Amino acid sequence: MSLQTKPTERLPRWQFRKKKKVEKRRKKRQANAEATKSTMIPTIKEPDTSLLLAEKQKYEQEKRTWEQRETKFKLVELAKQKAREKEERAKALTQKRWQDTLMTLPMLAPSFSIDAEIKTSSKGPFMTFVQPASDATSSRLRKTTYRERFLQRKRNKL
């Protein structure tokens, strides 16, 4: 086993690729800045002081704008990271509340059964309009079907 202390969490593929893309762009911008900076090789002859001053001012202006862009980019990245962290905290809090709610739900007694009949001494103020199934079959006759009537007539003719 290597001497690594703790392996870092792997990013999802799309996040990893995006991060690499952003790093590549930053390196390219910096390389371009370095290339333009290094191409300004001083010449042997002494240039005008006004040209030097204008060139220096232009360089300072470009440097400021580049630094401003970098700080804006870093601020945006920081804001995104804070938003992600806030969302994760909210998700964890919601999960915890849900678990607490589930844990505080009252449990039914082990002797409770859905099939158990409720036995009360009084019937209460309610009237029963539908009779139980055993009484209904004895009081009403089943209606005969067309097939049964047909067969009965056939038997009567014979």
State pLDDT tens for residues 4-18: 556 678 889 999 999
Question: How far, in Å, are 22, 37, 48, 78, 117 from residue 57 at the CA level?
Answer: 29, 14, 14, 31, 95
State pLDDT tens for residues 101-134: 888 887 777 676 666 666 666 666 666 666 666 6
Enumerate the domain spans of the chain: 49-104
- pTM score above 0.95: no
